[in-house]
A = this chain, B = another copy of it.
Amino acid sequence: MPKKKSYHHGDLKNALIKAGVEILAKDGVSGLSLRKVAGRAGVSHSAPYSHFADKQALIAAISTEGFRQLYERESTVADLYADQPSKQLIEAAWAYVQFAMDDPDRFKVMFSAVLEKEKEYPEFVSESQRNFQLVRRIIEANQAAGVLRSGPSDLIALSAWGIVHGFVMLWLEGQISHAVLEKSSLRELVEFQLRQIMLD
């Protein structure tokens, strides 16, 4: 890990991503500015432009890194419960929710960056597709075990992802009333949501 104090930073690109994640966690998405990121990395305000075309590009890089870590967590859980499909499904969903709650603002940014920049940020696209393929594998294991209905696994994966993602989003935006939250823990709620698409 180079950390000399010379004119050239050495690994500024990654340092900026890291600084961005930290600022995101501390000041939220509205507090994320290029200049603050540069400052935190100990570099002048327009140094980032040597590594990123614009602010969007930095955000895309942060998002990409986020998807990498998400995959790391999800695949670990998936491997751990590879022999118990239904548990695998629920624990993976729970890991997803936890990931979102660990750093809500980064999570939001991950899903508000790209739109149709598929051409501009190919790494982001491939990383997010890798995550979807993992979900799909989990769904197929559950179909084989009779836990989920048969049918096109990509569409069912979309359902499973959608139900969990939708729940997380509604939770993050405070749309889930206290009345509901008092009755059950978040963990129980997530499991209940998923069980809606699981066969008895």
Contacts and interface: CB of A to CB of B under 8 A. Distances in A.
Contact size range, A: 35 or more
Interface string A132-145: 10000000000000
A52 interface: no
Copies of this chain in its oligomeric complex: 2
A25 to B, nearest CB: 15
B115 A174 contact: yes
A167 interface: yes
B165 A169 contact: yes
B174 A158 contact: no
B180 A154 contact: yes
A179 interface: yes
B174 A166 contact: no
A81 B189 CA distance: 30
Nearest to A159: B196
A189 B155 contact: yes
Contacts of A166: 161-167, 169
A112 interface: yes
Contacts of A189: 155, 158
Given A154-B177, A158-B176, A163-B196, 16 more contacts: A111-B173, A111-B175, A114-B173, A116-B174, A149-B196, A152-B183, A155-B180, A155-B184, A158-B167, A162-B162, A162-B164, A162-B167, A162-B170, A166-B166, A166-B169, A169-B169
| Shortest 7 CB-CB contacts between residues of A and residues of B | A166-B166, A162-B166, A165-B166, A162-B167, A159-B196, A163-B163, A196-B197
